[in-house]
């Protein structure tokens, strides 16, 4: 008997979950959520999932800790309700930047998250644009790692920019930016940016490549406060760049980041809805591309047992 496909969603990004269900022509699974006065969480599945192929969509933002705990509880409920296979769909992976032991006596938290998902009962993970590809190796269960590169490149092509370069905001982002530049067949520029502590402002010391008289499209994996991105744009302008565009997979945009982008020299800031952008898009310069079809196609491929890598061709 063929397993039924079902999708449930936590509270962090229900809008994206509903879009994915629309792409797959199915209804979002029914579930009730309750938080008690002591802040404990209870979820209850309101429909049978016995022997079903179930996908739980939950982004690790804005409340990372609550979102993660909610996801683990949903997975546990699905396991004890006899779901055949449970896939944790994490458009934005929680604790993604904690991927190495770069200080004494700290946790590699993104590895811990992988362990927690497996312990809760997840059979596989579906996510997008991890901060570092090696995070896939932290998991002992299969991980499908989607990329926004193709969607973002198609968007850039539609802008019909005549003379532009892809710009890496720092040396660590150069490999990611190179993939965009190669696909678009345009030059790449790298900014030599230094930050000596978390409290210090990032400073651009050198620009590797020519930006004079050219439009620049800066690519990063995520943007939080926007400070580094705005500083990069300032340096590019001072070196003769024309219009400045910025893009990232995950628009955290915390604090006053949206207003700072709106007031900056950036002409347009493009992100995706891996994190809910419904409020942020009220700022004229901020645009969100939907990843619903990409996730929907990946879920369909996993459910049917076909290749996920074909989505990158």
Pairing of strands 124-128, 85-90: parallel
Q: Print burial letters for 204-237: b (CB count within 10 Å at least 16), e (below 16).
A: beebebebeebbbbbbbbbbbebebbbbbbebbb
E strand or H helix that includes residue 194:
strand 188-194
Does 193 qualify as catalytic in the annotation?
A: yes
> What stretches of 195-265 adopt beta strand conformation (E)?
203-208, 215-223, 244-251
Instruction: Please give the Cα distance from 29 to 126 (Å, whole number).
Output: 18
User: Across the strands, what pairs with 56?
Assistant: 8, 88
Distance, in Å, from the CA atom of 298 to the CA atom of 304, rounded to the nearest integer, reads: 10
Angle value at C-alpha 233, between 250 and 165, nearest 5 degrees: 80
Q: Residue 15, SS3?
A: helix
Q: Which of 193, 237, 287, 293 is catalytic?
A: 193
What whole-number distance in Å separates Cα of residue 293 and Cα of residue 296?
A: 5
Cα gap 143→89, rounded to integer Å: 10
Distances (CA, A) of 137 to 56, 140, 143, 175, 298: 21, 8, 9, 19, 20
Q: Which residue numbers are catalytic?
A: 193
């Amino acid at each position: 008997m063929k397993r039924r496909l079902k999708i449930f969603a936590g509270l962090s990004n229900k809008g994206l979950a509903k879009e994915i269900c629309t792409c797959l022509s199915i209804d979002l699974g029914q579930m009730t959520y309750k938080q008690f006065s002591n802040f404990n969480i209870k979820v209850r599945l309101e429909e049978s999932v016995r022997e079903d192929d179930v996908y739980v969509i939950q982004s690790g933002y804005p409340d990372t800790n609550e979102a993660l705990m909610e996801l683990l509880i949903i997975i546990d409920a699905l396991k004890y309700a006899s779901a055949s296979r449970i896939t944790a769909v994490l458009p934005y992976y929680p604790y993604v930047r904690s991927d190495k032991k770069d200080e004494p006596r700290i946790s590699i938290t993104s590895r811990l998250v992988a362990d927690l998902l497996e312990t809760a009962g997840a059979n596989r993970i579906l996510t997008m644009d991890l901060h570092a590809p090696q995070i896939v190796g932290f998991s002992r269960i299969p991980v499908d790692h989607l990329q926004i590169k193709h969607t973002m490149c198609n968007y850039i092509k539609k802008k019909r920019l005549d003379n532009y370069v892809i710009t890496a905001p720092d040396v660590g982002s150069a490999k990611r930016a190179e993939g965009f530049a190669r696909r678009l067949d345009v030059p790449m520029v790298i900014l030599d940016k230094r930050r000596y502590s978390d409290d210090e402002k990032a400073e651009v010391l050198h620009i590797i490549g020519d930006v004079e008289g050219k439009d620049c499209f800066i690519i990063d994996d995520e943007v939080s406060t926007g400070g580094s991105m705005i500083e990069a744009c300032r340096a590019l302008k001072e070196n003769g760049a024309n219009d400045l565009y910025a893009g990232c997979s995950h628009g955290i945009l915390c604090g006053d980041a949206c207003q700072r982008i709106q007031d900056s020299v950036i002409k347009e800031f493009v992100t995706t809805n891996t994190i809910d952008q419904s409020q942020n898009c009220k700022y004229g310069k901020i645009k969100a591309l939907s990843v619903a079809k990409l996730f929907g196609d990946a879920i369909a491929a996993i459910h049917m047992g076909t290749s996920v890598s074909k989505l990158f061709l």
